[in-house]
């Protein structure tokens, strides 16, 4: 059986760990691409040897040539600068827009039929930029962040209740930033809504920590940003698409009237299938929740206006 092919653009911590997860789980054959000579080749060789020990028959190669991504079923873009302490995701806006724009030109040239998952920050703006630059339909362009934000909320809920994270399902909407919208009403522990298990004060603390989840890690690391949870998030999305699992996952998607929003990319639950982002799932939000989502979307729109590429 021919394995799907995934190209990961950017061999830094996020990109390399994403490639490792895809390879070791045999989700796809992987090509790792980076402009730094020797970096993707060396990391790919190391991963291939580890995969042999772990019993994976998937293949990985590294390259500095974007022609290597030809025929990719799915492309993951992680290229760009990471955050440093004190920086917001928006501080990276223009520089990463220039880097990502150059990458997207090459993706269109060499893998015009691929499904695209954006990881570079600021995530929502880079996903919008990818949609605009590539001309791919909305089913074929999405951003990773909702899965990551929900995973952080899931972990914090499990930690607060001293229960297995396996039994926790969390939902986070909105942009991948300080105005994201964690939804306690739609987050459950083995089917029990979180507001029935924790006080409003406890929930407020978990929501705040979720919103600042990335910044907390950046401050601890002092250089660079998270990569283990982001790469796991990409792997989950990729598996759902390439294996046609049809999972409902929160992803950065183009809205065309859903939630009363149009022409904006923002985090919402969606069905991920072999078609890509097959459809957006609309939750019955309260007015307060909907207003918060609209505020988050407005911030994404304002950030998009600042992009000059």
**Contacts (Cβ under 8 Å, ≥6 apart) of 22:** 6, 8, 28, 30, 58, 235, 238
**Burial degree of 197 (CB within 10 A; 0-12, 13-18, 19+):** middle
Residues 250-276 have pLDDT tens digits of 999 999 999 999 999 999 999 999 999
Q: At what angle do helices 93-110 and 123-134 cross, to 10 degrees?
A: 40
- Nearest in space to 147 (alpha carbons), one of 244, 237, 47, 55: 237
- Positive or negative, the CA dihedral 22, 23, 25, 29 is positive
Helix (H) or strand (E) holding 62, with range, is strand 60-63
Confidence at residue 60, expressed as pLDDT on a 0 to 100 scale: 98
Q: How far is Cα 73 from Cα 211, in angstroms, rounded to an integer?
A: 32
The tokens for 146 are 């909702």
Q: Are 264 and 128 in contact (CB under 8 A)?
A: yes
Q: How far is Cα 80 from Cα 73, in angstroms, rounded to an integer?
A: 22
Confidence at residue 82, expressed as pLDDT on a 0 to 100 scale: 75
- Low-confidence residues of the chain: pLDDT under 50: none
Domains of the chain (ranges, CATH numbers):
5-145 (3.40.50.720), 146-305 (3.90.110.10)
The tokens for 218 are 């950046």
Confidence at residue 94, expressed as pLDDT on a 0 to 100 scale: 87
The tokens for 271 are 């069905």
Confidence at residue 89, expressed as pLDDT on a 0 to 100 scale: 61
The residues annotated as belonging to the active site are: 176
Confidence at residue 43, expressed as pLDDT on a 0 to 100 scale: 98
Residues 76-89 have pLDDT tens digits of 999 988 767 776 66
Q: How far is Cα 96 from Cα 306, in angstroms, rounded to an integer?
A: 12
**Contacts (Cβ under 8 Å, ≥6 apart) of 77:** 9, 10, 100, 103, 104, 107, 116, 117, 118, 119, 120, 126, 130
Torsion of CA 9, 11, 15, 21, to 10 degrees: 110
Query: Residue 52 half-sphere exposure, CB side, CA atoms within 13 Å?
Result: 7
The pTM is what? Answer: 0.95
Q: How far is Cα 309 from Cα 287, in angstroms, rounded to an integer?
A: 36
Q: Are 129 and 116 in contact (CB under 8 A)?
A: no
């Amino acid at each position: 059986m021919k394995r799907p092919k995934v190209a990961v653009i950017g061999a830094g911590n996020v990109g390399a760990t994403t490639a490792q997860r895809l390879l070791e789980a045999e989700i796809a054959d992987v090509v790792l691409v980076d402009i730094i000579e020797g970096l993707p080749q060396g990391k790919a060789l190391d991963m291939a040897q580890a995969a042999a020990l772990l019993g994976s028959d998937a293949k990985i190669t590294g390259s500095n040539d974007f022609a290597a991504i030809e025929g990719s079923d799915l492309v993951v873009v992680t290229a760009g600068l990471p955050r440093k302490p004190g920086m917001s995701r928006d501080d990276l806006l223009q520089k990463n827009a220039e880097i990502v724009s150059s990458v997207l030109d090459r993706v269109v040239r060499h893998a015009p039929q691929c499904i695209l998952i954006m990881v570079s920050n600021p995530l929502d703006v880079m996903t919008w930029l990818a949609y605009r630059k590539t001309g791919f339909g909305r089913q074929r362009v999405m951003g990773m962040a909702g899965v990551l934000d929900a995973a952080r909320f899931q972990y914090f809920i499990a930690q607060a209740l001293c229960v297995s994270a396996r039994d926790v399902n969390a939902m986070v909407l909105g942009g991948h930033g300080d105005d994201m919208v964690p939804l306690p009403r739609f987050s459950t522990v083995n089917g029990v809504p979180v507001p029935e298990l924790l006080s409003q004060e406890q929930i407020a603390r978990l929501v705040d920590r979720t919103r600042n989840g990335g910044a907390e890690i950046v401050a601890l690391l002092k250089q660079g940003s998270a990569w283990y949870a982001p790469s796991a998030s990409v792997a989950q999305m990729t598996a759902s698409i390439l294996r046609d699992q049809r999972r409902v996952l929160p992803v950065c998607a183009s809205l065309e009237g859903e939630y009363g929003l149009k022409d904006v990319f923002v985090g919402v639950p969606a069905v991920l299938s072999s078609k890509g982002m097959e459809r957006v799932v609309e939750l019955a939000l309260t007015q307060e929740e909907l207003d918060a989502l609209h505020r988050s979307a407005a911030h994404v729109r304002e950030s998009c206006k600042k992009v000059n590429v």
